[in-house]
Structure 1
């Protein structure tokens, strides 16, 4: 028999994490009532959850009464990002060498795709690349599409996002860099931000054969993270 106090504690933790997730993904924050409605709990329970999160500076209450992400979340995100980078870097180096193209790990941050790690292929006189920390809007380019596909389906989402989720990868041309092919695979792991492995190249033949290797690498990365 499961101890009742332990079960209650687990439920409270799950609700608290879900409340944090809701606030962090809301563009203009959330009210106590909105959090209560999303969690299907009484307003007093939502208030206690948000107060506890505020005690740890994970959320903050504005003058309008709405809760938004707090400074403590930045430190938490930095630790999570470090974990993702450490797990992904060996995979990225293997992919870059094997495919002969620049590959990267990107995550969702607000409404943008942000590069956490970028690895260029060894050797070669010409390659496409970009800097760690580079960002572009979600929905643009293979990475932006794959990051949306790594999340739960949403009403009215773009057809290319649904297609990427169904086939396991996104492929685009010239959407972020003119003349560049992009191929990206979603990496969705419970408790971690939506991420993707992304390849960019000016060569159509590399882009055309990249998907299976990226899919296999993403599966390996997921296994290392769970």
Structure 2
């Protein structure tokens, strides 16, 4: 029994989105063979997917034969980011008020975690915060761990990433801001870049109880994104 045209089309779309995600996360781009290996498909399938993405200027092939993100991705990224912010910010305002701490929405950009939105708790005399657009390496901080945990498991991944995926949130201390606690819950929706909600605070009692609340908030955002 063969797959229906609709099922085949859905699979092709999912593969194309995955290719776009893989290329966007590779600092030096990817070759056709590398894409084929990561998708576990024949080289010819990877080539067709990359060619289609190139037609829409979402990726571009360099002189070295490696594919990197193209100019068309900027407009697409802007729309995706607006969608994520629209779904997340009402939830973030509720969570910041509930926990009395700064909540941020972060996504993966290459090898870094980038803040798309930052919400401070209302009426607080003093808060720990940072600016929208702030970034740090994925290897550091609760947000970086949660963003890696939002992806499928990979061979040799760090133990804290595996742990965060299993329990639903990541927690760190002093890895991005000295003396600060970070707690983050991943948001994974097919077709969208890995994202997370992150809390940052100097208060250990706030961080210790924040995991379940962040997980519930991430689930609300995911439900909004799925419609």
Q: Same fold (TM over 0.5)?
A: yes
Q: Which residue of 2 aligns with 1:25?
A: 25
Quick one: distance in 2 between partners of 1:29 and 1:101?
Answer: 38
Deviation at 1:50?
2.0
Q: Which residue of 1 aligns with 2:162?
A: 162
- Tell me: CA distance 1:201–1:73, structure 2 relative to 1, closer, same or farther (3 Å): same
| 3-state SS of paired residue (2:82) | helix
| 3-state SS of paired residue (1:118) | strand
Is 1:105 matched up with 2:105? yes
- Tell me: CA distance 1:14–1:142, structure 2 relative to 1, closer, same or farther (3 Å): closer
Is 1:63 matched up with 2:63? yes
How many residues get paired?
A: 226
| 3-state SS of paired residue (2:172) | strand
- Tell me: CA distance 1:37–1:162, structure 2 relative to 1, closer, same or farther (3 Å): closer
Contact 2:24 2:109 in 1 (8 A): no
- Tell me: CA distance 1:8–1:91, structure 2 relative to 1, closer, same or farther (3 Å): closer
Q: Which residue of 1 aligns with 2:73?
A: 73
- Tell me: CA distance 1:90–1:35, structure 2 relative to 1, closer, same or farther (3 Å): same
Which sections of structure 1, spanning at least 5 residues, go unmatched?
A: none
Quick one: distance in 2 between partners of 1:38 and 1:161?
Answer: 19
Quick one: distance in 1 between partners of 2:169 and 2:181?
Answer: 13
Quick one: distance in 1 between partners of 2:99 and 2:156?
Answer: 35
Structure of greater Rg: 1
Is 1:133 matched up with 2:138? no
Quick one: distance in 2 between partners of 1:76 and 1:56?
Answer: 11
Q: Which residue of 2 aligns with 1:202?
A: 202
Q: Which residue of 2 aligns with 1:150?
A: 150
Quick one: distance in 2 between partners of 1:124 and 1:36?
Answer: 51
TM-score normalised by structure 2 residue count = 0.91
28-37 vs 83-92, which moves further:
28-37
- Structure with the larger RCO, 1 or 2 (CA within 8 Å, 6+ apart): 2
- Residues 165-215 of structure 1, C-alpha deviations (whole Å, 9 max, x = no match): 111111111111111111111111111111111111111111122112111
Contact 2:101 2:120 in 1 (8 A): yes
TM-score normalised by structure 1 residue count = 0.91
- Tell me: CA distance 1:12–1:171, structure 2 relative to 1, closer, same or farther (3 Å): closer
